[in-house]
Amino acid sequence: MNNAASLVGRIGLALIFVLSGWGKLMNPAATAGYMEAMHVPTLLLWPTIALELLGGIALIVGFQTRAVAWLLAIFSVLAAVLFHANLADQGQQINFLKNLAMAGGFLVLATAPISAWSLDARRASAK
Q: Tens of pLDDT along 6-44?
A: 999 999 999 999 999 999 999 999 999 999 999 999 999
**pLDDT > 90 fraction of the chain, expressed in percent and rounded:** 97
- The pLDDT, as a whole number, for residue 97 is 98
- The pLDDT, as a whole number, for residue 127 is 76
* Integer Cα distance of 120 and 38 in angstroms: 37
- The pLDDT, as a whole number, for residue 122 is 94
The CA-based dihedral angle spanning residues 81, 84, 89, 95, taken in that order and rounded to the nearest 10 degrees: -120
- The pLDDT, as a whole number, for residue 91 is 96
**Annotated domain spans of the chain:** 3-126
Instruction: Read off the pTM.
Output: 0.93
The CA–CA distances, whole Å, from 5 to 2, 12, 63, 125 equal 5, 10, 17, 21
- Write out pLDDT tens, residues 52-89: 999 999 999 999 999 999 999 999 999 999 999 999 99
How many of the other CB atoms lie within 10 Å of CB of 10?
25
- The pLDDT, as a whole number, for residue 1 is 59
